[in-house]
Every structure is written in structure tokens, then in C-alpha cells.
């Protein structure tokens, strides 16, 4: 049988780690009602809207809070008038102290009334400040720049204090959380480039922010947190939080033994490569395979540099068959290098 022959060679291959993981918001802020018992008057944003920090998201009915504020202001005015009166009495008591006109007990009572009046003024001022704060809180403001990811409030609802109204993806940033084994996590460093395959077939660029310091005790896997930077395809639809996608972390490049992919034959549960001897007989070698880059197959064990192998047609051979060369033996053909991770 005439076969094509290649020579096992070493080539520099990009080294990557592939894994699956979930796309999630970098940080998701929960925006709630800071005041309770008020009716939602208006909702100003919808899901998907991009908002700025301190932008109004919703408003509550203000009538009840405005009434409470006027009551507090009236109480403050009364307290100030009383304090003014007691201050005049206290000033006279201080000026007559030691003259014998007023007893020590009367002087002390006037001074005590002044202190009590001043305390009531401070209390009334605090009540006014509290009502002013409540009035300000009738407008629900965005805590940061971002994108509205959920809206739980409805117009007309009377919400308790702390009830969730919106969810906000802070800064609009999303991340990919790749799931890796403990040994793989040891190879991941902050700043490494990542390529993420979106569900629609587009590819997104990412950068490792950090590797998790712990590994799950059940799955024995840990997370690598990757900032999603942007799509490699102009105009591609956004990659959405919640998607479960595949990504590859670029570790660099390294030398590897490679053979043409058609040279590998799967038989009886083993991966075989036929090696050509000096007598033109082939012998089947069990090999352990690594990555497939284009048409090149990495071989981890079973071969050495310089071995002559059957490049194609091995599926029709058996151990010990005599073959003839269809062409002179050459090195394993080089395929177009895989695109570098950006």
C-alpha cells in the first residue's frame, strides 16, 4: 500500500486553558425604598435603561411628608419663641445674682428653664431635619452609573421601608466566571487575555481580574473572574448575564511534538500512530494526545522528534504491514497558526 509519510517535529503552540462558566454582573446593586408607607407615584426608568449616578429612578407621593415637615417647622418656631422668653428671664437672673433680689432657688429655676428650652429647640431642629430627609428620600436615586437589570416596583404600590424596587448592574460591567480545577487555577494570573464564545457565535475579549482563593469542597473546582471587555465582532449583540459559555485563557506559548491530525487512528479504544521502520514495515504506537490546533495534533507521549510516521491512510493498515512511499518523508505540515488571543 502506498502511503504518505511525515516526520514528527517540534513546534511552538499557543498554550491555553479552556473551561465553561457563567456570565454575571460584576456587581449588582439593589435599590430599595428608604421610606416606608408611601405610595409610588411615578417610575422613571425601565429594564435595560442606562442611568447615571444620582439620576431619579422613581418618586413617591409627597403630601404626607410635606404635612409632617410643616408640623415640625411649626414646633420649631414654638420652641424658639419659648427659648427666647426663657433666655430673657435667665439673663435677668444672672445680672441680679448676688444682689439679694432673687433667691438662689429662683435663679437656678430660671437657668434650668433656659437649658430645657434650648434642648427643646435642638429636638425640634432634629425633627425638621428628619422630615426634610424623608422629603428628599421620596425621590429614589441611582447609587451609581449602570444599567437597570430588574424592576420590582409598580405605580400605586405602598411599599415598606427597605423593599426592593430596582436592580442595577454597576458601571454596566459584566464578567465571566470560568470554572477550573485547582491545578488549573495555579496557572491563572491577573491580566491574562481570554477569549469568550458568546451563544450567538460571536467572540468576546476578556481579561483575568483574579483567581478565586478557594476551591469548592464538593465540585473541587474554583472560579476565575474575567472582565468582559468587548466583542471582536463589530455590531455584535451584547452577551447577557446568566449565559453559560465557554472561554479560553491564554497562558503563552510552548514547544510541543506535533503530527498531522489524519495520522492519528482511533482503534479498540486507543489512539494509534503508525511509525515507519527502516524495512518499510509499520508498527502501531499508542499515543497520548494533547491539543488540536488547526490541522496539527499535539502528542504528549508515544513518539519522539524525527520518527517517520504514516501521515494519512493509517486506518487501512495493521501492525507489521509493508508499505511503499507515495512521496519522500517530510516534516509534519504546518497549518495556519491559530489567531493570537487579543
pLDDT-derived band at 342, boundaries 50, 70, 90 = very low
Does 155 score more than 80 pLDDT? Answer: yes
Phi and psi at 139, nearest 5°, equal -105, 120
Q: How far apart are CA 207 and CA 226, in angstroms?
A: 5
pLDDT at 98: 64
For 5, 129, 228, 265, the CA distances from 327, given in Å and listed in that order, are 7, 93, 49, 21
Interval 335-342 mean pLDDT: 43
Beta bridge partners of 207: 193, 227
3-state DSSP of 93-111: HHHHCCCCCCCHHHHHHHH
- Three-state DSSP class for residue 140: strand
pLDDT-derived band at 69, boundaries 50, 70, 90 = very high
Interval 89-99 mean pLDDT: 73
Closest CA to 315 of 281, 259, 244, 266: 266
Interval 93-112 mean pLDDT: 73
User: Are 24 and 174 a contacting pair, CB within 8 Å?
Assistant: yes
Q: Can you say how many angstroms the Cα of residue 265 is from the centroid of all Cα atoms in its chain?
A: 43
What is the percentage of the chain residues whose pLDDT exceeds 70? Answer: 93
- Three-state DSSP class for residue 4: strand
Interval 107-130 mean pLDDT: 89
Does 19 score more than 80 pLDDT? Answer: yes
User: Are 294 and 338 a contacting pair, CB within 8 Å?
Assistant: yes
User: Are 243 and 226 a contacting pair, CB within 8 Å?
Assistant: no
Beta bridge partners of 331: 7
User: Are 270 and 286 a contacting pair, CB within 8 Å?
Assistant: yes
- Three-state DSSP class for residue 336: coil
pLDDT at 11: 86
Q: How far apart are CA 325 and CA 280, in angstroms?
A: 9
Closest CA to 26 of 140, 142, 143, 147: 147
Q: Can you say how many angstroms the Cα of residue 152 is from the centroid of all Cα atoms in its chain?
A: 22
pTM of the shown model: 0.64
Does 101 score more than 80 pLDDT? Answer: no
**What integer best gives the mean pLDDT of the chain?**
87
Check residue 108 and give left, alpha or beta (phi > 0: left; psi -120 to 50: alpha).
Answer: alpha
Kindly list the structural domains of the chain, giving each domain's residue range(s) and its CATH number in brackets, ordered by start: 1-24+173-342 (2.40.30.170), 28-60+144-170 (2.40.50.100), 63-136 (1.10.287)
Does 223 score more than 90 pLDDT? Answer: yes
Does 57 score more than 80 pLDDT? Answer: yes
Interval 219-224 mean pLDDT: 93
User: Are 228 and 174 a contacting pair, CB within 8 Å?
Assistant: yes
Amino acid at each position: 500500500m502506498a502511503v504518505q509519510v511525515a516526520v514528527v517535529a517540534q513546534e511552538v503552540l499557543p498554550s491555553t486553558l479552556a473551561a465553561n462558566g457563567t456570565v454575571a454582573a460584576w456587581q449588582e446593586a439593589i435599590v430599595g425604598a428608604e421610606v416606608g408607607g408611601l405610595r409610588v407615584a411615578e417610575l422613571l426608568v425601565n429594564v435595560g435603561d442606562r442611568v447615571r449616578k444620582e439620576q431619579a429612578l422613581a418618586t413617591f407621593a409627597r403630601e404626607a411628608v410635606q404635612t409632617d415637615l410643616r408640623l415640625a417647622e411649626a414646633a420649631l418656631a414654638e420652641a424658639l419663641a419659648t427659648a427666647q422668653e426663657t433666655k430673657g428671664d435667665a439673663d435677668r437672673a444672672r445680672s441680679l445674682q448676688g444682689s439679694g433680689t432673687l433667691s438662689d432657688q429662683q435663679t437656678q429655676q430660671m437657668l434650668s428653664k433656659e437649658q430645657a428650652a434650648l434642648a427643646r429647640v435642638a429636638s425640634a431642629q432634629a425633627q425638621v431635619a428628619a422630615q426634610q430627609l424623608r422629603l428628599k428620600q421620596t425621590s429614589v436615586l441611582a447609587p451609581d452609573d449602570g444599567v437597570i437589570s430588574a424592576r420590582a416596583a409598580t405605580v400605586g404600590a405602598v411599599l415598606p421601608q427597605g423593599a426592593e424596587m430596582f436592580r442595577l448592574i454597576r458601571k454596566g460591567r459584566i464578567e465571566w466566571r470560568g470554572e477550573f480545577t485547582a491545578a488549573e487555577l495555579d496557572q491563572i494570573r491577573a491580566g491574562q487575555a481570554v477569549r469568550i464564545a458568546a451563544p450567538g457565535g460571536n467572540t468576546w475579549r476578556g481579561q483575568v481580574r483574579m483567581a478565586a482563593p478557594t476551591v469548592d469542597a464538593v465540585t473541587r473546582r474554583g472560579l476565575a473572574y474575567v472582565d468582559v471587555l468587548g466583542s471582536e465582532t463589530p455590531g455584535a449583540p451584547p452577551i447577557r448575564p446568566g449565559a453559560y459559555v465557554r472561554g479560553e485563557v491564554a497562558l503563552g506559548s510552548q514547544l510541543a511534538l506535533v503530527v498531522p491530525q489524519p495520522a492519528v487512528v482511533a482503534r479498540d479504544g486507543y489512539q494509534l500512530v503508525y511509525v515507519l521502520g527502516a524495512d518499510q514495515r509499520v508498527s502501531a504506537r499508542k499515543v497520548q494526545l494533547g491539543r488540536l490546533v488547526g490541522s496539527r495534533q499535539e502528542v504528549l507521549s508515544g513518539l519522539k522528534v524525527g520518527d517517520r510516521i504514516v501521515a494519512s491512510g493509517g486506518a487501512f493498515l495493521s501492525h507489521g504491514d509493508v508499505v511503499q512511499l507515495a512521496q519522500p518523508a517530510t516534516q509534519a505540515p504546518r497549518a495556519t497558526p491559530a489567531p493570537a488571543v487579543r
